[in-house]
Each structure stands twice: as structure tokens, then as C-alpha cells.
């Protein structure tokens, strides 16, 4: 039977359009951001730990690109998340400090009113505009007042708590009244009582359910674990694990094991639904580990959470995107969580270059080797009077109570050799670069009390030396 030539042509066109994704086949990748809280740089197997057991994250890291120089935009939780969610330095819109009620000065915003300025687009807003279903699970920390709520900031679903920390176990009614609503669990915009399981598990279950419910459309799941932030509360099922460790370090290892298991559960859901090959996954952490609080290790770096030494701002992380970026590789140039917004927008079919004010860049061309060189020549940090610029391998640290310090990170990643006296011209050049950046910033919306500033300086002095490498192992 002779085929109609017009129909033959239409069939060829239809096949071509299908290849382009126009025939209904899903082409936008799902995006999952696994984000831990207060973890140490060295406290994962894929980072070389001989104590922690993280088999799920280790396997996931091997299937993608691990970052050896991943930076956050702040050394504490709130502003770090503000930079991540917007793709902009948070100081540009006044979110310079941690928005924790009770430790802020009386000038500026206080209490529930401290948050991510309304009207400022988030990564959720960007992806919603590209047809994504968006959700956050766990810690929000972008403001407690209703106007800051995730459902008003680009997210379609929310299961978590508005504040910066809470118990991993359910609160009684009396406890709920005492801790206040920032620690209450919510589903979407309403408090619903308390979760029944260990919170890390509950977040994994909710994220997995969201993935299953949205398996036929592109989705963005921001899984913002509060593990391994204080309080150091262990899943009873892990209470016998790590007999070779003691005290806080043992509890941290047990909580890290729970975190790893939760991440594995989410990845297993993607695999079971056949979504793994079309999902971009990023794992990262919000700031350096507070070694004095949770016994985390930032080896080999000096510094801890709330300092701008490398141990306070360089974090573990990797990205996985099957078929799009190489597996089993390491990217050794400086990158930032600022880069996640443009990377996700471009992966979702958007045009990040058309977004005004972004400070991040799309990382995918660099990971593929299509772009050479560094994604960032310079990166900046500021909190109160402390300021930092990393320019190439050089890092200048400015303080309110002592002379500036200069380090070469290529030769001295642990920041033990201050070169300020040897390179006065470099000091002047980097001071100028830092000042020029600071001229683009807004006045802080809320600030720490003076006593908290002094506390930050004391932490710098206390953790000026890098930690010793953990020297004994736990059987895997």
C-alpha cells in the first residue's frame, strides 16, 4: 500500500520533535538538594574519614563530581542559607547575621521580624516559573513571621520548622508552649502536632513521599536536615553503634549514620521510581563544624563555625547528574553555594544570564570541561567588622581588633603562616578589592550585640590551630 507523502513528512517531523522533548517526554531534570547542618569538613567517608560510616553518601559521591574547594557565603546557618537560596551575597540585602532572637542588638529588626526580605526571589521562585513543583523539608531559618513562610517564598510544600534548631524527638504539649512556634513542626502553613519518628527519618520519609507524588512532573526537593546540629540526640536504634568512640564524638558519628541512611532512602526512592537517571542531586553543608559544640572535625583546616578561617567556610559537597557530568571525578577550583541557583536554573531550561544581580555562575560547563579556568577569581565574606576576600590563591582576613592577615592557600591551606609583612603590596591590593565589594552592600537589617562580636573573636583565637587528624578507625 502506497504511503501518503504528506503523512510521511509529518511522521518525520513528529519524530524530530519527540527527540527535542516536544512530544510529552520529560526532559527537565528533577533536582534534589541534600543539605546537612553543622557537619565537619572531614566527617564523611567521601572526605576521607576513618571514623564516620557514610556508605550511601560515599556511593553517591563516587557517581558524580566531588568539590575540594566548596565554600558557603557565611560561617553561620542563617546568612549561609540566604546566600544559597538567592544566588546573591546575602550582605547585598542586609541578611548579614544569624537571625536568632535573643542575641541581637535592639537596633534594626528583632525577634520574629528578622528574615529574608519579602519580594526577593528565591531558587524556589525561579524553578516554579520554569514549571517545577517545589518543596522544602526540615530547617527553614529564613524568618519566623508569617510573611517569611516558605509557601510565600517560592515553595509549594513545606514540612519542617521555621527556626534554626529543635529536638529530634517529638515535643509534648507543655514543651511546645515553652519552646515557641519557631520549633514547632508544620505541614505547609499549619502546625499539625509532632512527628512520631526520629526527625531525620521523618524528613526522609516526607521527601520520598513528595518525590513519589510528583514523579510525572519536574520537581525540586530541598531537604534541609537539622542533623548534625545540636542537640546531640541519637536515634535509639543507633545507640550501640561506634563502640570505639566516646562522648560527643560517638553521638556525632551515630547522628551522621542516621543522616547518611536518610539520604540513602531518598536516593533509593528515585531509583525505585526510575527517576535516578533524570535527577540532578547536590549534597552540601551550611557552614564549618562547631568542633567545641558537637565534636566535629574540620581537618585539615583551622577554624570552626562562626570563624572565617577555612574550617568555618569551606564545606564538603558534590554534585551528581547522570549522563551530563563526569562520574568519579574531583573539581579542584573554588566554587560557592552561590552557584546553585544559576546551575539549577540552567539545568531546568532557564536562562540564568538574564537574571539581574546573581553572584553565582552555572557550574555545569566547568564540570564538563567546556569552560576552562576558575568559576570565581574572587570570593568575599563579611560579618560585622570582619571581612575576607579570597583572590586566586591569596586570602586576606580583616579584623576589628588586630592587623590584617594574609595567607596563600595553595601552599598553606591550614592558614598557619601569616604573610602580611612579606607582601605589603598584596595587602593593599586585596584591601582595595574588599572595600570595592563592600561599597555594593546594604546596611545590615539586624546585628549581633557587642558581646557576641567579642565571642566570635575569642573563637578565632581558640581555634587558630588546625585539629589533629583522627587516628583510629571504626570497622565498616
Q: CATH code at 144?
A: 3.40.720.10
β-sheet bridge partners, residue 283: 34, 318
If DSSP codes are grouped into helix, strand and coil, which group holds residue 12?
helix
Residues 288 and 405 in one domain: no
C-alpha grid cell, residue 294: 558537637
Domain-terminating residue out of 376, 395, 430:
376
Question: For residue 328, what are the contacts with CB-CB under 8 A and spacing of at least 6?
Answer: 62, 63
Average pLDDT rounded to a whole number, residues 282-308? 97
| Gap between the Cα atoms of 86 and 121, Å rounded | 7
Q: Is 80 exceeded by the pLDDT of residue 10?
A: no
Domain-terminating residue out of 356, 376, 396:
376
131 lies in a domain? yes
Contact assessment for residue 281 and residue 319, using Cβ atoms and an 8 Å cutoff: yes
Preceding amide of 61 cis, omega within 30:
no
Nearest to 114 by CA among 94, 139, 135: 94
C-alpha grid cell, residue 85: 537560596
C-alpha grid cell, residue 450: 557587642
Residues 202 and 303 in one domain: yes
pLDDT, one tens digit per residue, over 64-78 is 999 999 999 999 999
Residue 476: the pLDDT is 33
263 lies in a domain? yes
Residues 277 and 169 in one domain: yes
Residues 307 and 402 in one domain: no
For 351-398, where are the alpha helices, taking DSSP H only? 364-368
DSSP one-letter string for 55-75:
HHHHHHHHTSEEESSEE-S-S
157-161/378-383 β-pairing: unpaired
β-sheet bridge partners, residue 288: none
If DSSP codes are grouped into helix, strand and coil, which group holds residue 282?
strand
471 lies in a domain? no
Q: What percent of the chain has pLDDT over 70?
A: 92
Residues 346 and 427 in one domain: no
Residues 110 and 125 in one domain: yes
- Domain range for 266 is 27-376
What pTM was computed for the model? 0.93
Q: 435: part of which helix (H) or strand (E)? A: helix 424-438
DSSP one-letter string for 198-260:
-HHHHHHHHHHHHHHHTTTS-EEEEEE--TTSSS----GGGTTS-TT--HHHHHHHHHHHHHH
Residues 322 and 420 in one domain: no
Lowest-confidence pick of 50-59, 191-200, 375-384, 406-415 = 191-200
Residue 8: the pLDDT is 43
β-sheet bridge partners, residue 349: none
Between 254 and 453, the more confident residue is 254
7 lies in a domain? no
Q: Is 90 exceeded by the pLDDT of residue 85?
A: yes
21 lies in a domain? no
User: Which of the four pLDDT bands, split at 50, 70 and 90, describes residue 469?
Assistant: confident
**Domain total of the chain:** 2
Which CATH number do you get for residue 410?
Answer: 3.30.1120.10
Residues 413 and 359 in one domain: no
Preceding amide of 113 cis, omega within 30:
no
289 lies in a domain? yes
Residue 191: the pLDDT is 67
Contact assessment for residue 214 and residue 129, using Cβ atoms and an 8 Å cutoff: no
Question: For residue 13, what are the contacts with CB-CB under 8 A and spacing of at least 6?
Answer: none
Residue 470: the pLDDT is 67
Residue 108: the pLDDT is 87
Residues 286 and 390 in one domain: no
Average pLDDT rounded to a whole number, residues 4-31? 53
What CA–CA distances, in Å, run from 348 to 369, 423, 426? 20, 45, 41
pLDDT, one tens digit per residue, over 448-462 is 887 777 777 888 999
Average pLDDT, the chain: 92
Domain-terminating residue out of 376, 398, 413:
376
Radius of gyration over alpha carbons of the chain, in Å? 23
Lowest-confidence pick of 109-113, 141-145, 257-261 = 109-113
Residue 445: the pLDDT is 95
104 lies in a domain? yes
Residue 468: the pLDDT is 87
pLDDT, one tens digit per residue, over 190-223 is 766 677 899 999 999 999 999 999 999 999 999 9
233 lies in a domain? yes
Residues 213 and 330 in one domain: yes
Q: Is 70 exceeded by the pLDDT of residue 312?
A: yes
Amino acid at each position: 500500500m502506497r504511503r501518503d507523502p504528506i503523512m510521511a513528512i509529518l511522521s518525520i517531523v513528529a519524530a524530530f520533535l519527540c527527540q527535542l522533548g516536544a512530544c510529552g517526554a520529560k526532559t527537565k531534570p528533577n533536582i534534589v538538594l541534600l543539605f546537612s547542618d553543622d557537619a565537619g569538613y572531614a566527617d564523611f567517608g567521601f572526605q576521607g574519614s576513618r571514623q564516620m560510616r557514610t556508605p550511601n553518601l560515599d556511593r553517591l559521591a563516587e557517581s558524580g563530581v566531588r568539590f575540594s574547594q566548596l565554600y558557603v557565603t557565611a560561617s553561620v546557618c542563617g546568612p549561609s542559607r540566604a546566600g544559597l537560596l538567592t544566588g546573591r551575597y546575602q550582605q547585598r540585602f542586609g541578611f548579614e547575621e544569624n537571625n536568632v532572637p535573643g542575641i541581637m542588638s535592639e537596633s534594626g529588626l528583632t525577634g520574629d521580624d528578622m528574615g529574608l526580605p519579602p519580594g526577593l526571589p528565591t531558587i524556589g521562585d525561579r524553578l516554579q516559573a520554569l514549571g517545577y513543583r517545589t518543596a522544602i523539608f526540615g530547617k527553614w531559618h529564613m524568618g519566623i513571621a508569617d510573611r517569611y513562610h516558605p509557601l510565600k517564598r517560592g515553595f509549594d510544600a513545606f514540612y519542617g520548622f521555621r527556626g534554626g534548631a529543635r529536638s529530634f524527638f517529638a515535643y509534648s504539649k507543655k514543651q511546645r508552649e515553652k519552646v515557641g512556634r519557631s520549633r514547632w513542626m508544620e505541614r505547609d502553613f499549619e502546625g499539625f502536632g509532632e512527628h512520631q519518628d526520629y526527625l531525620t527519618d521523618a524528613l526522609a520519609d516526607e521527601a520520598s513521599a513528595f518525590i513519589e507524588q510528583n514523579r510525572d512532573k519536574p520537581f525540586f526537593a530541598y531537604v534541609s536536615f537539622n542533623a548534625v546540629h545540636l542537640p546531640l540526640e541519637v536515634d535509639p536504634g543507633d545507640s550501640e553503634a561506634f563502640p570505639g568512640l566516646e562522648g560527643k564524638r560517638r553521638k556525632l558519628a551515630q547522628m551522621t549514620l542516621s543522616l547518611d541512611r536518610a539520604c540513602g532512602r531518598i536516593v533509593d526512592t528515585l531509583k525505585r521510581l526510575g527517576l535516578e537517571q533524570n535527577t540532578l542531586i547536590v549534597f552540601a553543608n551550611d557552614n564549618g563544624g562547631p568542633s567545641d559544640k558537637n565534636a566535629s572535625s574540620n581537618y585539615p583546616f583551622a577554624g570552626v563555625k562562626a570563624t572565617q578561617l577555612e574550617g568555618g567556610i569551606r564545606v564538603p559537597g558534590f554534585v551528581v547528574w547522570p549522563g551530563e557530568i563526569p562520574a568519579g571525578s574531583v573539581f579542584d577550583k573554588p566554587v560557592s553555594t552561590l552557584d546553585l541557583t544559576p546551575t539549577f536554573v540552567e539545568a531546568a531550561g532557564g536562562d540564568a544570564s538574564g537574571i539581574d544581580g546573581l553572584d553565582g555562575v552555572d557550574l555545569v560547563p566547568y564540570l564538563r570541561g567546556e569552560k576552562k579556568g576558575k568559576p570565581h577569581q574572587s570570593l568575599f565574606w563579611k560579618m560585622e567588622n570582619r571581612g575576607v576576600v579570597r583572590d586566586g590563591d591569596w586570602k586576606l582576613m580583616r579584623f576589628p581588633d588586630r592587623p590584617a592577615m594574609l595567607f596563600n592557600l595553595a601552599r598553606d591551606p591550614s592558614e598557619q603562616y601569616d604573610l602580611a609583612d612579606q607582601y605589603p603590596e598584596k595587602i593593599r591590593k586585596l584591601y582595595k578589592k574588599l572595600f570595592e565589594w563592600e561599597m555594593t552592600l546594604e546596611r545590615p537589617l539586624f546585628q549581633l550585640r557587642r558581646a557576641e562580636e567579642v565571642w566570635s573573636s575569642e573563637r578565632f583565637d581558640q581555634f587558630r590551630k588546625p585539629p589533629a587528624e583522627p587516628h583510629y578507625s571504626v570497622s565498616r
